[in-house]
Amino acid sequence: MTHELEHDVIIIGAGAAGLAAAQQLKTAGVKALVLEARSRLGGRIWTDHTYAPVELGAEFIHGEHAATWQFIEPAGLEAETWPRGRQKGQAYRNRFARQGRLLTDDTLAGRVDDLFEQVTTYTGPERSTGDLLLSLAGSDEEAALFVANGLACMEAAEVARLSASALSQERALNTAGWENYHITAGYDTLPVLLAEGIEVRFDTAVTQIEWKERGVQLAVQGGQLLTARQVIVTVPLGVLQSGRPRFLPGLPPAKQQAIEHLAMGHVTKLVLHFNQAFWPEFTFLRTDGFVLTWWPVGTAAAPALMGYTGGPAALKLAALGQESAVEQGLQELGQILGNKARSAFIAGRLVDWSTDPWSLGAYTYTPVGAGQARADLAAPLAPTLFFAGEATATNGHLATVHGAIETGQRAAAEVLAAR
């Protein structure tokens, strides 16, 4: 067993939060070592470049004021409004399909938007979003279905568990804006920028964190021990919930309860590549199938459709396995859009974040009664152990890349203040 000399700061995780923390410390003249379990940067930012850049994890910069722009703009990285060519504030062109047929009812999009607005601006006592939705929808079962599916996708949530008050408060707190952007060369260019000048050790999973008043000792897979004056943990909630890494002594009750009370949501991405863009124009095609939402990705030369499914439906799709999920997606698209779906098909890929061992879920949501949990999860322990990562965002920017960046910057400021 080897034992290195003490490091100043060690950061666990080379995702957006960990790398942003490392950059902030570097600016303050403090050297941080980043330990990463995977063999790549970015965590839940992961781009497939086989045909054209297609995002298997985070896809959009959500918001014209997102913290992400701090890094994108000075580096001159190109980011385009999404959908391509859309003017700011211009309405999305959503289409809906049920039981394999495109719906032609022109009032549906408006009814869905109105109901969504009512649900997400709720101000009453704590209750579940599913419950609220049913009471607000009245007899409009169709609008309720598409709002429920939409929320399941956006929030990665089981709407029967999702807190209606937390959802509306989080949306009200959002200062990042509501426009969406794609990074043209791929989202994975961002972690590369964030890692500039930072030492990252790959394939280095931390298995145990022994924290004390003065310093922290980390055990990594393979048995190596490292010590640091201060440590920032950015491990995703799903991994913390699985009991990894082990904390010695155990975490205090408030922290442990926060880990248990918050929910790690589920998302599957089903990417289908085609030799031509055979579909009619739409921003989102929303369905009641196995795959809940489709949108166009890729380029004119390498068109693809992104099938996005969140909440319990994501687990159902993932349970089919790679081949059957691709087949299911093709079949559903074929029913809705015609035979070209099959004849133009080149290749497909299912990405299931819930079985990814270093994520064990897609992103977090706030269940009923867990309103305090993010603050408890974010709170430092002793002057030595600090917490960041999207789950710790208390400003409404949870479940996003810019939110993760902000939590990393917050944790770095806490590290500096504790010296």
CB of 365 to ligand FAD, least distance (A): 12
289 vs 278: CA distance, rounded Å: 20
Q: Does 143 bind ligand FAD (CB under 6 A)?
A: no
**Residues 9, 108, 239, 318: which binds ligand FAD (CB under 6 A)?**
239
Element (H, E) at 144: helix 141-155
Nearer to ligand FAD, 60 or 247 (CB): 60
Determine the interface stretch with ligand FAD among 7-15, 192-200, 286-294, 336-344 (rule: CB under 6 A): 7-15
Determine the interface stretch with ligand FAD among 37-45, 69-77, 123-131, 249-257 (rule: CB under 6 A): 37-45
Q: Which amino acid is at 62?
A: H
Q: Does 404 bind ligand FAD (CB under 6 A)?
A: yes
CB of 271 to ligand FAD, least distance (A): 11
| Beta-sheet strands, E only, within 282-418 | 284-287, 293-298, 303-310, 345-352, 364-365, 385-387
- Whole-angstrom CA distances from 12 to 228, 285, 386 are 12, 38, 10
Query: What's the token pair of residue 109?
Result: 């999009």
Q: Does 409 bind ligand FAD (CB under 6 A)?
A: no
**Residues 9, 11, 33, 37: which binds ligand FAD (CB under 6 A)?**
37
CB of 390 to ligand FAD, least distance (A): 3
- Exposure class string for 121-157: b at 16+ Cβ within 10 A, else e: ebeeeeebbbebbeebbeebebbbbbbbbbbbbbbbb
**Residues 130, 296, 348, 389: which binds ligand FAD (CB under 6 A)?**
389
| Beta-sheet strands, E only, within 117-188 | 180-183
Q: Does 109 bind ligand FAD (CB under 6 A)?
A: no
**Residues 200, 399, 411, 412: which binds ligand FAD (CB under 6 A)?**
399
Q: Does 95 bind ligand FAD (CB under 6 A)?
A: no
Nearer to ligand FAD, 332 or 352 (CB): 352
Q: Does 148 bind ligand FAD (CB under 6 A)?
A: no
CB of 357 to ligand FAD, least distance (A): 8
Nearer to ligand FAD, 235 or 370 (CB): 235
CB of 402 to ligand FAD, least distance (A): 6
Hey, which residues between 246 and 275 contact ligand FAD (CB under 6 A)?
A: 267, 269
Q: Which amino acid is at 21?
A: A
Q: Does 16 bind ligand FAD (CB under 6 A)?
A: yes
Residues 6+ apart with CB under 8 A from 172: 121, 396
Q: Does 129 bind ligand FAD (CB under 6 A)?
A: no
Residues 6+ apart with CB under 8 A from 86: none
Hey, which residues between 325 and 354 contact ligand FAD (CB under 6 A)?
A: 353
User: What burial class does residue 167 get, using C-beta atoms within 10 Å of its C-beta: 0-12 exposed, 13-18 middle, 19+ buried?
Assistant: buried
Element (H, E) at 380: none
Hey, which residues between 187 and 206 contact ligand FAD (CB under 6 A)?
A: 205-206
**Residues 38, 161, 229, 266: which binds ligand FAD (CB under 6 A)?**
38
Hey, which residues between 218 and 237 contact ligand FAD (CB under 6 A)?
A: 234-236
Coil vs helix vs strand at 406: helix
Q: Does 244 bind ligand FAD (CB under 6 A)?
A: yes
Element (H, E) at 68: none
Nearer to ligand FAD, 38 or 132 (CB): 38
Q: Does 12 bind ligand FAD (CB under 6 A)?
A: yes
Backbone angles phi, psi at 145, to 5 degrees: -60, -50
**Residues 17, 77, 144, 326: which binds ligand FAD (CB under 6 A)?**
17
370 vs 190: CA distance, rounded Å: 31
CB of 206 to ligand FAD, least distance (A): 4
Q: 388 and 21 in contact (C-beta within 8 Å)? A: yes
383 vs 381: CA distance, rounded Å: 6
**What proportions of the chain, in percent to the nearest 5, are helix, strand and coil?**
35, 25, 40
Q: Does 296 bind ligand FAD (CB under 6 A)?
A: no
What residues line the site for ligand FAD (CB under 6 A)? 12-18, 35-38, 43-45, 57-60, 62, 205-206, 234-236, 239, 244-245, 267, 269, 353, 358-359, 362-363, 389-390, 399-402, 404
